[in-house]
Amino acid sequence: MDLGLTGKRAIVAAASSGLGYAIAQGLAREGCRVAICSRDAERVEQAAESLRCDTGAEVPATAVDVSDEAAIQTWVTDVAGTWGGIDILIPNAGGPAYGAFDDLSSGQWDEAYHLTLKSAIVFASSARPYLGSGSAVLFLTSMTARQPVGPLVLSGVYRAGVAMLAKTLADEWASDGIRVNHLIPGRIATERVAHLDTYAAETRGVAIDEIVAQSSGAIPLGRYGRPDEFASAAVFLVSEAASYITGATLQVDGGALRSA
């Protein structure tokens, strides 16, 4: 299937590793120009070079702290100015701190807000002037947007806000031909999930293999997902093949979420 992505101009945030990197790779392989960012200048440049070598695509890399509003605005404006617009926007950010509600400080709530929800808002507002008819925005959240997950209180509260933002913008921007969708990863084998498994193992005093086995057993497909499996769904949703899909929420979780 031709996804109609050749030559499209894409921004993928927090893409030096994990799901962001996998999505950037998927888009680059489909012929997109992909601008990526990360807080770590060296790491994001290494990621970009890897993507260039793998795909031959144009992949500019920039060090951006997505909890910094001005940094986001500058990056998005620079990319749009260089390329003459934006066709695909994928806001993304690393996960906020772990912890039960009673263990979280006011400062941690503030940091998580700026990292998770505020960054999504700023990306959307910064990119809006450069998005035209046929462009697509894809927000990424997590299963915590639908149901509580252990110590991920900060993630759940703010990612639920991101999910509502996606629904709202899908309504408001549809008349201008801009599609907005929302993608939920389940337990995908990334560094973030490995850290969560380690945290759970240490908290419960058990081996990490036991945590992985228990988590896998709760997934109908019986295993963690691969980053490229998640990325394939993302690439489809921002492509012309999904031209009549907006305001949708898609779970890539091996069947783990049972709610309608």
pLDDT value of residue 118: 98
**Shared-domain flag, residues 176 and 241:** yes
Q: Euclidean distance between the first and final Cα of the chain, in Å?
A: 29
For residue 176, is it within any domain?
A: yes
53 plus 24 within the same structural domain: yes
* Residue 61 backbone dihedrals phi, psi, to 5 degrees: -120, 140
The pLDDT value recorded for residue 238 is: 98
Give residues with Cβ within 8 angstroms of 197, minimum separation 6. Answer: 208, 211, 212, 215
Residues 6+ apart with CB under 8 A from 165: 117, 120, 121, 124, 139
Report whether pLDDT(65) > 70.
Answer: yes
What is the predicted pLDDT for the residue at 260?
62
Residue 201 resides in a domain: yes
Residue 1 falls within a domain, yes or no? no
Q: Quick one: average pLDDT of 189-205?
A: 88
Which residues sit opposite 185 in a β-bridge? 252
**In the predicted model, is pLDDT for residue 152 greater than 70?**
yes
Name the strands in the sheet holding 179-185, side by side, starting at the edge strand that comes first in the sequence: 61-63, 33-38, 9-12, 86-90, 131-140, 179-185, 249-252
Q: Does 126 lie in the same domain as 211?
A: no
Has residue 21 been placed in a domain? yes
Share of the chain above pLDDT 90, in %: 86
Residues 179 and 209 in one domain: no
pLDDT over threshold 70, residue 162: yes
Both 176 and 196 in one domain: the answer is: no
Let me know: does 21 contact 227? Beta carbons within 8 Å: yes
Judgement on whether residues 88 and 171 belong to the same structural domain of the protein: yes
Q: Tens digits of per-residue pLDDT, 245-256?
A: 999 999 999 999
Q: Do residue 64 and residue 125 come from a single domain?
A: yes
Better-predicted residue by pLDDT, 89 or 144: 89
- Cβ neighbours for 202, distance < 8 A, ≥ 6 positions apart: none
* Chain centroid offset of residue 258 CA: 22
Residue 243 belongs to some domain of the structure: yes
Q: What is the DSSP code string of the chain?
A: ---S-TT-EEEESS-SSHHHHHHHHHHHHTT-EEEEEES-HHHHHHHHHHHHHHH-----EEE--TT-HHHHHHHHHHHHHHHTSEEEEE--------B-GGG--HHHHHHHIIIIIIHHHHHHHHHGGGEEEEEEEEEE--GGGTS--TTBHHHHHHHHHHHHHHHHHHHHHGGGT-EEEEEEE-SB-SHHHHHHHHHHHHHHTS-HHHHHHHHHHTSTTSSPBPHHHHHHHHHHHTSGGGTT--S-EEEESTT-----
Q: Both 84 and 178 in a single domain?
A: yes
**CA nearest neighbour of 95 among 70, 67, 73:** 67
Is residue 245 located within the same domain as residue 197? no
195 pLDDT band (50/70/90 cuts)? confident
Is residue 4 assigned to a domain? no
The answer to whether residue 256 is domain-embedded is no
| Domain encompassing residue 24 | 9-186+228-251
Check pLDDT > 90 for residue 139: yes
The reply to whether 64 falls in a domain is: yes
122 and 70 within one domain = yes
Give the chain's domain count: 2
Q: How do residues 50-62 score in pLDDT, each as one tens digit?
A: 999 999 999 999 9
For residue 63, pLDDT beyond 90 = yes
CATH at 75: 3.40.50.720
Q: Are 191 and 110 part of one and the same domain?
A: no
Using CA atoms, how far residue 246 sits from 26, 172, 190, in Å, is 20, 11, 27
C-alpha of 122 from chain center = 15
Give the mean pLDDT of 23-37: 98
**CB distance 3 to 30 below 8 Å:** yes
pLDDT in tens, 71-105: 999 999 999 999 999 999 999 998 898 889 999 99
**Could you tell me whether strands 131-140 and 86-90 are parallel, antiparallel, or unpaired per DSSP bridges?**
parallel
Average pLDDT, integer, range 143-170: 93
Same-domain status, 91 and 139: yes
Task: Indicate the average pLDDT of the chain.
Answer: 95
